[in-house]
Amino acid sequence: MSNKYFWLAAGIALLIGAGVAYRAFLRPPSRAPVSSGKTVRQTVVARENAWLFDPEVVEVYQGDRVILDVVNEDAYDHGIGIDFFGVSQRMPPKSTITVEFTATQLGDFPFYCSVPCGDGIYKGKKRTHFDMTGHIKVVP
Ligand SMILES: [Cu+2]
């Protein structure tokens, strides 16, 4: 190995070593990735001709890996968007989709139907696409 390549390799090794040391010993806990090591799986249902998600609140612990099986009971498309966790997926008619994210932050994070899906009367009340909302509640 020529001298030039030796120093290049040594420099790279030093950088990697510094990164490993930072992650292991120096990074403040508040900056570390949050993971509880647990996975929770829950079903959320877009009820047939109801323009709502059931349940409207999904509570998880901070750091949980969250798997949501989202059911569309309707004969037309819906979607699920959870902006904060980077979730946006279309739900074909009469189908179940699965979305996944890690609940890294404490707080309430809205989810909503991301596909304009019309409106109608449910239990005597007018409901619309814009009523299809809920939130992910992340607790300590
Ligand atoms: Cu919708």
* pTM, rounded to two decimals: 0.77
Distance 114 CA to ligand 1 centre (A): 6
The verdict on 72 and 119 lying in the same domain is yes
The radius of gyration computed from the CA coordinates of the chain, to the nearest angstrom, equals 22
Total domains in the fold of the chain:
2
Please write the tens of the pLDDT for every residue from 23-78. 888 776 666 667 889 999 999 999 999 999 999 999 999 999 999 999 999 999 99
Range of the domain at 18: 1-32
Please write the tens of the pLDDT for every residue from 26-36. 776 666 667 88
Distance 97 CA to ligand 1 centre (A): 14
Measure the CA–CA gap between 60 and 57, rounded to whole angstroms. Answer: 10
Measure the CA–CA gap between 36 and 20, rounded to whole angstroms. Answer: 22
The verdict on 22 and 43 lying in the same domain is no
The verdict on 23 and 51 lying in the same domain is no
Distance 51 CA to ligand 1 centre (A): 6
